[in-house]
Structure 1
Amino acid sequence: MKKIIYALILPLVVVIGLVFANHEIKNETSKKSIPKHLSAAERKAVLKKWEATPDGIMYKKWEASPAGKKVHAGTAKIRKSIRDYTNMEGVVTSLSLPPGSRLGFGVMVRINGDDYILAFGPEKSGKNVLNFNNEFEQLHSLKVNDKIIIRSHSVSQAPKYSYPIVAGDYVERDSKIIYKRAPRKGGC
């Protein structure tokens, strides 16, 4: 009788041990997955390490090239308006982005004499009952030489493009809002 009880209790003890061990492993991995903020010195070290990679070397060469300097100058020109989220007057120069671009929907604009890519992101394929895409519908009505007011929270650059990339957050034409980016759900 004792042998039968031991035979039943032993597998039970083993299973409980495995459950607890698995629980501790899950807790350890969840603790590791929380990203910690890097200090300034750590960020600088990571940047130095990246600059030694082939991508980093290519980026540094592009930055020093005339095209890279032109893009940096254009970025610096509108940095204050981006930081303060103030109006920038622009003129639509092209209804299409440079060939080979993968920025989604966007147009080319001239702001203060410099050309910029005004990117809005990928067009969603969700269509309404009338088979129109509502998100960028009014933006599709833009024409070359239209004067628009732009507000943005960010400007970026990439060696692939000869122009700074302005994120289209707000666009106004003839004192009418034709696009306003919806706030992100469930976050900042």
Structure 2
Amino acid sequence: MKKVIYALILPLVVVSGLVFANHAIKSETSKKPSPKPLSAAEREAAVKEWESTPEGIKYKTWEASPAGEKVFVAEAKIRKHISTFTNMEAVVTSLSLPPGARLGFGVMVRINGDDYIVRFEPEKFQLDQLQSLKVNDKIFIRSRAVSHAPKYSYPIILGDYVERDSKVIFKRVPRKGGC
């Protein structure tokens, strides 16, 4: 009888020790201070510091150039569609990105007379559907983000949703675990 009691108590002690140790580890990690967000003055000082670096000077020069102004005007034309996540009618103009592009898979499109790069982050099973696109295909794009870079003469749209002939050919899969 004593052996049975000892056999039952021993696993109970081991399990309770593991639970206690796990709780202690979790409480230690949660006590780490989270980084404080920068105040407006600190953020402005960091931007001023960056603008004085060679990269910042190069960016500011590009921003004021005709090529940079053209990119910002094109971005402004689609900003309403981006913020409301509504369809933008586009025509595929090229199945390849500009030479030297390091954006992954994407296509060039024309929306309301302006050219854009549409960048995708496809899963393996979605790549076949995207590769079925042809030049002059009319598609509808939805996106939550548009960006720019001095390296490219076009705004960069992150493709979240694409449909052709009323059929969805791409829908971005949200990342697991949060953002």
Coarse TM-score class (shorter-chain normalised): 0.7 to 0.9
Partner residue, 1:43: 43
Number of aligned residue pairs: give it. Answer: 152
Where do residues 61-140 of structure 1 align in structure 2 (5 Å cutoff)?
61-121=61-121, 133-140=124-131
Give the aligned CA root-mean-square deviation in angstroms.
1.8
**CA distance in 2 between partners of 1:145 and 1:176 (Å):** 17
- Misfit runs of 4+, over 6 Å: none
The answer for unaligned runs of 5 or more in structure 2 is 1-27
Deviations 1:84-142 (A, max 9, x none): 11110000000000000000000000011100000013x66xxxxxxxx3132101000
User: How many angstroms does 1:41 deviate by?
Assistant: 2.0
Give the counterpart letter for 2:43 in structure 1.
Answer: R
The answer for unaligned runs of 5 or more in structure 1 is 1-25, 125-132
**CA distance in 2 between partners of 1:181 and 1:36 (Å):** 32
Partner residue, 1:150: 141
User: How many angstroms does 1:42 deviate by?
Assistant: 1.8
Deviations 1:127-185 (A, max 9, x none): xxxxxx31321010000000000000000000000000000100000000000000111
Percent of aligned pairs with the same amino acid: 70
Give the counterpart letter for 1:68 in structure 2.
Answer: G
Q: Secondary structure at the match of 1:41?
A: helix
Partner residue, 1:12: none
**CA distance in 1 between partners of 2:144 and 2:71 (Å):** 18
**CA distance in 2 between partners of 1:111 and 1:176 (Å):** 19
User: How many angstroms does 1:52 deviate by?
Assistant: 0.6
Correspondence 1:53 to 2:53: yes
User: How many angstroms does 1:37 deviate by?
Assistant: 1.5
Taking structure 1 as the reference length, the TM-score comes to: 0.76
Taking structure 2 as the reference length, the TM-score comes to: 0.80
